[in-house]
Amino acid sequence: MSIETASLAAHGPVIPVIVIQRLEDAVPMAQALVAGGVKVLEVTLRTPVALAAMEAIARAVPEAIVGAGTLRTVDDVRAARDAGCQFGVSPGFTEALAEACRVHGLPLLPGVSTASEVMQANDAGYRFLKLFPAVAVGGVQLLKALAGPFADVSFCPTGGITPDNAAQFLALPNVRVCGGSWLTPADAVEQGDWARITELARACSALRG
């Protein structure tokens, strides 16, 4: 199933950025998020079990829309597609990565942090971009500044987004959705406290007023 990355925002205001350390946590974590109304899941390629976790979620939790985060190379794209991912997210943008995603039919949400990078991504046909690391590169003020010259571009700010500042980002007209890691706290995952993760997921719906 192929999707347009811009449509991801239709499923709620937050895309969880997930780091899975133990493969056995993958499916119950995904089930807990989906139970709380969060269907779009970005599983980052930062651990040895990441690809196996994506594959397990794609197979066992069909309601979830599984994406691979931290795509950096052509091999990453190929592996993510083979694992059953429906979209990819990258921390930055390169033509090679964009071409690999086109070849393998993996919709991409590319990362940018400057106006020049926005223009490069636009030249490749991308109008929905990830601003990363959002808070570190200017946060709300940068997004307000980018809205002028890039009125046709929308963003998913990720990096430093918390329950305390998420609403400020989501209130901006050029922000469709934001990415955050707070939905899957390490201690909750370690303890298998899936009910807590479901509650955190449910709370996301209130962030966009």
In angstroms, the Cα distances linking 68 to 76, 101, 145 are 9, 12, 29
In angstroms, rounded to a whole number, what is the distance separating the alpha carbons of residues 202 and 37? 6
Q: Is 42 a catalytic residue?
A: yes
Q: 3-class DSSP state for residue 66? A: strand
Q: Are strands 111-112 and 128-131 parallel, antiparallel or unpaired?
A: parallel
Question: Annotated catalytic, 130?
Answer: yes
Entry field: residues in the chain: 209
Catalytically annotated residue among 24, 39, 42, 55: 42
The residue annotated as part of the active site, out of 55, 117, 130, 190, is 130
- To which H or E segment does residue 38 belong? none
Distance CA 17, CA 40 (A): 10
State the catalytic residues.
42, 130
